[in-house]
Structure 1
């Protein structure tokens, strides 16, 4: 056993007392007070049909959308990556927690050897086994702060997984709504193209009979060609959106087309969201904001880790070995404290503390920005929804009026009372109004989806991980 002088013993006793007293360096974490509005500034939607975030997708009552959401979640690279990050964070936390326990290593060896002593030569076989143990005492809370940071990062990665899930659902829903809106526009353009082709044919026959001018014939042909080109462009946009859905769901395109074909090409109708929360509630609603807050807590704990690194560390170390050499058995052991005292490092440890504080300040800035962005996204979605709601009745009246006007002018044109140019102008106005109405209806659903995502998508703090099916068939 090692022998220590009286001053050394007093120092070791003091350090052991510090370790047992639970001294922890670094600031204790408190959620920072970030100013946020007391209420939403934009008009909050309210109507006869409202629902919460949790079961919102079921309110669409759209089997095709429900199947797309299921396919996307069952095989999502973004969610698989988020789950892998959770596993990595848990492994890191387990490794950090193991540092607080003693470490024991063993070794075995064997072989033959010999030695020459004068005229006598000795030889024989030998073997040995040894066991080394070490245990670092957490004098100033370095290990505890490290574990605190690791646990916070596990929670952050879990929040990231929920955020990936909410974002995936919103993205699939948004593309699906765009695709259905695109299909409605294709129908409108196809009807217009067929009508224009009929008009061009009749006008060409009338021109050949000498009853219509060449200008009207050329205008009719040009309008028919323009309508056909617009139809092709719109059809290609639908194909682009279909490719996006294929990528999001990881499904075969043929199967996806079959799923989409089971329901009519119409826009889904979600229930209105019941927005009763206030901006300050977003921390409990948005997983990305909760993740940012957990990263802030981890950065705060790492300040204590860096501060503890500047102070002495105390470990208990021991060795026990047994061996035989040339038939002789021997044993040896040692046990005692090991005190490590930082003397000179050129300011490296001080710089590490400054770096940890800077990392915390950066994480605080990210948290504040994420909170502001969260409030902004909700406010923007509310403004867009309110504007779309107030525009809807006017656009519907406009569409109906232009449609009736075109039908009247078309009858007059067939009777020979107005020119083809007047008919073409009325047709374009009616088509523009119809496209505006379809686009407005599509955007309204998209704004509801944006509000759903901005409010956190039904996620709540401390919500357990739902079981998912990954591409490898594993469950979470």
Structure 2
């Protein structure tokens, strides 16, 4: 009878999602080829970052949660598949009884007897209108969605590790700049004091020189605080206590800088590259199948049931010299009046399906925005960095000349102070711009769907139970 079974409800078809023909913020050369996203972070040429990402993938807690959700989805699918097959259960019973009484002559009589019985019960719901098949279909889509969610978690994780690492190296560079500047300004303080003693400088100049050195030194603790917070964040991303990486990242390294531009491909490429879009699409498929599952409840259902039982006064009699009974037949259930519950359940499923369709469209639009924003930010920051580079060179020359003229008494200390402040500000802005370039590069790779593309073992549980068979209940 099964080959003749039908399914009700809508059959899922991947929706057609419109995307622009090109990225407005990308060069034509970047769009000629699909994004090269496999281990994109290696383009930053920082082995420490490479190692941190590997460890994060292995130990991050969000990744572990996503793996557990995959195991849950797979178990739910196996549970749904079980509904397609017959169920069989066995039963047994043993009893001993005693009957006593008093006869008319006053003599009491008693009798003792044993009774044993065993039986088998079987049932099988014929999936005439595909309710169980739709359930399996929905569960299978749920597995796909859980696997895509894991990939989306990895995209976010890799991007977050890279961003926090670059940010930490940026604060190390700012700390080093501040320390160099403080040392230089203390030399200016010493020079100003000497000139004060010689009568060629005022006490105001000396006070300003000391204040400027102290003001710059005050930046260092703030930068160290921000650096420590980035290290704490990296440690948490690796599934460790906040201070776990403090010693490992203590030694300063250059800010990772990207080399050649990252190919972007065309906007349509992100539909297959972004795992969050894949997850949203699979969830839409899952809830489309649930509509069919709800509609199947509007139709009759047929179940085949059967039972076999045997009884006797001895256990050995259950297979011979026993009383055997059996029954077999179909059961038809027809929904006649349910107060509108079944139809309402269909409408609920349809509304849920619509929500996931809208969520898919929203995810696509967000993905397009992510890429466009990253392209604009990266291009703007590169132009900004070039201008800052020229500014730093100009301020370096101005500061050097100001100090030389001040030493020979041809320029006031106010000019030296202004030149030093401008140079320090430009150099600090240049470091921040370098950090921003790399962070926007990371954001672009992340927006294009770049993450870990290697194999991930999601079969191992986080908690391994022991002694789960029958045993005496214990106390904590």
Contact 1:104 1:134 in 2 (8 A): yes
Tell me which residue corresponds to 1:466. 456
Tell me which residue corresponds to 2:389. 396
The one of 306, 326, 338 equivalent to 1:333 is 326
Question: 1:435: Cα distance to partner?
Answer: 1.3
**2:410 aligned with 1:417, yes or no?**
yes
Unpaired segments ≥5 residues, structure 1: 1-15
**2:271 aligned with 1:283, yes or no?**
yes
Contact 1:314 1:337 in 2 (8 A): yes
Question: 1:325: Cα distance to partner?
Answer: 3.9
Question: 1:408: Cα distance to partner?
Answer: 0.7
**2:260 aligned with 1:272, yes or no?**
yes
Q: Distance in 1 between matches of 2:115 and 2:454?
A: 57
SS at match of 1:108: strand
Tell me which residue corresponds to 1:217. 206
**2:42 aligned with 1:21, yes or no?**
no
Contact 2:189 2:209 in 1 (8 A): yes
| TM-score, normalisation: structure 1 | 0.88
Contact 1:73 1:468 in 2 (8 A): no
SS at match of 1:87: helix
Tell me which residue corresponds to 2:238. 249
Moved more, 169-178 or 207-216: 207-216
Matched residues, number: 451
Against the structure 1 CA distance between its residues 314 and 117, is the aligned structure 2 distance closer, same or farther, given a 3 Å change threshold? farther
Against the structure 1 CA distance between its residues 472 and 314, is the aligned structure 2 distance closer, same or farther, given a 3 Å change threshold? closer
**2:162 aligned with 1:173, yes or no?**
yes
Against the structure 1 CA distance between its residues 76 and 473, is the aligned structure 2 distance closer, same or farther, given a 3 Å change threshold? farther
1:310-325 equivalences in 2 (<5 Å): 310-325=298-313
1:49-448 equivalences in 2 (<5 Å): 52-115=36-99, 119=103, 121-208=110-197, 210-251=199-240, 256-260=245-249, 265-325=253-313, 329-448=322-441
Q: Distance in 2 between matches of 1:150 and 1:58?
A: 37
Q: Distance in 2 between matches of 1:383 and 1:146?
A: 45
Against the structure 1 CA distance between its residues 46 and 408, is the aligned structure 2 distance closer, same or farther, given a 3 Å change threshold? farther
Contact 1:45 1:274 in 2 (8 A): no
Contact 1:138 1:144 in 2 (8 A): yes
Q: Distance in 2 between matches of 1:198 and 1:355?
A: 76
CA RMSD of aligned residues (A): 2.5
Q: List per-residue Cα deviations over 1:198-255 (Å, max 9, x = no partner).
A: 3223324543554422221221121121111112211211111111111112346776
Tell me which residue corresponds to 1:4. none
Q: Distance in 1 between matches of 2:459 and 2:441?
A: 28
| TM-score, normalisation: structure 2 | 0.88
